Amino acid sequence: MNETLKVVLSLTISGSLVALLLLAFKPLYKSRFRKSWQYYIYLVALLRMLLPYTPEANLIGWLTAPDANPSIQAEPVRPTLHKEEADEPRDATMGVAPKVEEGSVAEEESTGNVVKDVWADVSPYVWVVWLSVAFLLLMYKIIRYFRFSSFLLAERRELAEPEMLEWYRDVYRDMGVRQPVPVYTNWCVRTPMLVGIIRPYIVLPKAGYVKKHCRMMMRHELVHFTRHDILYKWLVQLVVCLHWFNPLVYWMRKEIFKNCELACDETVLTSLGAKEKHRYGDALLASLQKGEPCGNVAFSLSMSEDGKNIKERLESIVRYSRSPLGVRVLSYAFAVALAVGAAFLGAYTEAKPQDFDVLVRRFYEERDLKNFSAIVPQIEEGVVEELLFTTMEDDRIEYFSHIVANYAMSRDLADRMALQAVVRDKDSYFSLLIPYIGITDGLAEILYNMDNYDMFVMLVDGLSDAKREELADRSNHDLATTDYYKVLTEGY
């Protein structure tokens, strides 16, 4: 499986655990903690789904560590020929591994290897499907946003009423906004809204609103602007696109969008008196009576948003009061604990080569052939060479054959090991290395001079024509090498 997809899956697991924790504790904090806290707390889950930050000790790393289940960590690797030999037919007698006996470890692995091979063939398509859907979703949302922005730009007009402009200046000065956003009117919108990321602007309905509500409308939209709520919404949409297969991201999006308006109401109410709070509620009702907001609410911020949450928003206005100090301290402590827990969950990281090197030696010493084979493709060539020497010295051909079958061996390493097999007169080990040998002619010369007929015949099919003719001519003039001449001229 693609490493990036593994990281995404681990991030979606970590983020989902954080989201589930918030869902479990929601009945406890919904009516006690501030709405702003309930709005921003989802950033912990969102960032956990986006950032592959992983501390040294983490849950996901522990679950995916090689020593936890190395057979899952390592992908199945088929025997690999050299690139220039990959398309050449192989002789059935060359490089044959020892016969698998009934009831052996290798036989037990055969069924599992079939499943792994199927998954190895399918996993690249899983990666393509995930990436394609994520890309198409993101493009769809971007195109919708630009179409909506173009629609508003075409119909907007600058706010020209001096009285309303004066009210707007009073509001942004009172809120301490240094660079106020432009304000426009539009016949097509039915509720005030903030639009735009790089150059945001406020759009007010052209008609049908009561002027006494304008101050509240402006204050509400300026709160969205000062808190950069549109950027937050885009962050949510990015997470939805990347983790489109996870149903929890859609629940989080719904909660964040709802809490966005509740938190905005709460912030506005902190600076209003009793009478102004009633006016704010009237303004909210007035904007709702205009109907549902037009356009793409996923990338704009309107005062009414929709009518589904109006009851909860009005109840929050009526019940609004500052949270006690103890409750605020508890909410901060919960947020810190959640953030630390999210960091501890971690994400998938590819194991370091030295980790595999230690494990493969341990599995060899413990005679754990199954996990040994799974780790072999991940280790460095220097360790592979050491293990090949060790298995040959210990005469453990089953481990030697698994290394040869599962590791993409270079020609140089195969040549060195073949020479060691010749020196140690290890015919069966030598046969396993034949498909990977690069100095076939040179080895044949050595074996011919050493009169090692058994190994020599294994190389005959790989000899060059010139070397075959040379050795045939030499063996033809020597009665002691008649068998060599026969195999060189007639085949074996």
Q: Tell me: the pLDDT tens digits for 132-183?
A: 999 999 999 999 998 888 888 888 888 888 888 888 888 889 888 888 899 9
Helices (H), 156-212: 162-174
DSSP, res 323? P
Which strand (E) or helix (H) includes residue 201?
strand 201-205
pLDDT of residue 319: 72
**Joined tokens for residue 122:** 């399918």
pLDDT of residue 323: 77
How far are the Cα atoms of 375, 379, 408, 438 from residue 412, in angstroms, in the given order?
22, 17, 12, 7
Bridge partners of 195, per DSSP, are 201, 300
What pTM does this model have? 0.65
Q: Tell me: the pLDDT tens digits for 336-377?
A: 999 999 999 988 876 555 567 788 888 888 888 888 888 888
Number of neighbours of residue 490 by Cβ within 10 angstroms: 7
Domain extent listing, the chain:
159-320, 353-490
pLDDT at 83 over 50: no
User: Which of the pair, 62 or 453, is modelled with greater confidence?
Assistant: 453
| 3-state SS class at 158 | strand
Cα separation, 253 vs 259, in Å, equals: 10
Do 357 and 378 meet the contact criterion of CB atoms below 8 Å apart? no
DSSP, res 449? H
Q: What contacts 485, CB < 8 A, 6 or more positions away?
A: 472, 475, 476
pLDDT of residue 439: 80
Torsion, Cα of 446, 451, 455, 458 (10° steps): 90
Q: Tell me: the pLDDT tens digits for 107-129?
A: 444 554 555 556 566 667 888 89
Bridge partners of 156, per DSSP, are 186
Which strand (E) or helix (H) includes residue 157?
strand 156-158
pLDDT at 492 over 50: no
Amino acid at 174: D
Cα separation, 221 vs 265, in Å, equals: 10
pLDDT at 79 over 60: no
pLDDT average, residue stretch 246-268: 92
User: Which of 66, 75, 74 is closest to 120 using CA atoms?
Assistant: 75
Q: How deeply is 444 buried, as exposed, middle or buried, from its count of CB atoms within 10 A (0-12, 13-18, 19+)?
A: buried
